[in-house]
Amino acid sequence: MYKAIIFDFFGVIKTDQYENWLQSRGYERTGAFAHASQDADSGNISMEEFFERLGRLSNQTTQDVKAQYYTDDTINNEIIALIKTLRHHYRLALLSNSNSAYLRGILKQYALEPLFDEIIISGEIGLTKPGKEIFNYTLHKLNMNYDEVIFIDDRQENIIAAERLGIRSLLFTHADKLTHDLEGLHITLS
């Protein structure tokens, strides 16, 4: 029986601005672009340093990168409504690879922090998905076993890593499919 649901943030609750920035410029999250993301997500560099690095990699100014980066900044209101419903029946956690100040600012801006029992941000603890340590950390914070939680993420490598640990995981593509997937697991949605 499931007692908790763990949500990824970027690409599920909010637009993944980095993925959009990469795709719109013909880049992929590999090589130096992957390293830049990993360094920001693990808290090794600030967002300003991240944008400076992207500027160097793309032969643009830091200001141009920032302006482009923030053009697609959308919260998925269908997912927020779903989270508010799930909140009545399950413990909820947010598990995100992100720079701490950046994500905390978004959570505050949209008043999202009260929706979650636990908020785990990679940049605050120095652990990142898909590493098993961050999943273990999250389960410890929730005081749950692997078979008591559902994990939702938009990145296949994170889903695979969680499944290997015995965590039931759902690949997010859009809100309707997620609702259907949760219904299939007999999750209370009302």
List, for residues 67-126, the tens digit of each pLDDT value: 999 887 799 999 999 999 999 999 999 999 999 999 999 999 999 999 999 999 999 999
Query: Which amino acid, 35?
Result: H
Residue 47 is encoded by which pair of tokens?
Answer: 């967002």
- Give which of 40, 173, 38 is closest to 102, Cα–Cα: 40
Q: How far apart are CA 41 and CA 2, in angstroms?
A: 29
Range(s) of the chain covered by CATH 3.40.50.1000: 4-14+74-184
**Peptide bond connecting 130 to the previous residue in cis, omega within 30 degrees of 0:** yes
Query: Which amino acid, 18?
Result: Y
pLDDT digits 0-9 by tens, 30-58:
999 999 999 999 999 999 999 999 999 99
Q: How far apart are CA 131 and CA 25, in angstroms?
A: 28
pLDDT of residue 71: 83
pLDDT of residue 189: 95
- DSSP strand E in the chain: where? 4-7, 91-96, 118-121, 149-153, 168-171
pLDDT of residue 78: 97
Residue 24 is encoded by which pair of tokens?
Answer: 């719109």
16 neighbors 22 (Cβ within 8 angstroms): no
pLDDT digits 0-9 by tens, 128-181:
999 999 999 999 999 999 999 999 999 999 999 999 999 999 999 999 999 999
DSSP 7: E
- CATH for 4-14+74-184? 3.40.50.1000
Residue 65 is encoded by which pair of tokens?
Answer: 């990168």
Cα 83 to Cα 46, 94, 103, 104, 132, distances in angstroms: 29, 11, 18, 18, 25
* Other residues' Cβ atoms within 10 Å of the Cβ of residue 37: 21
**Per-residue b/e over 41-51, b at no fewer than 16 CB within 10 Å?**
bbbebbbeebb
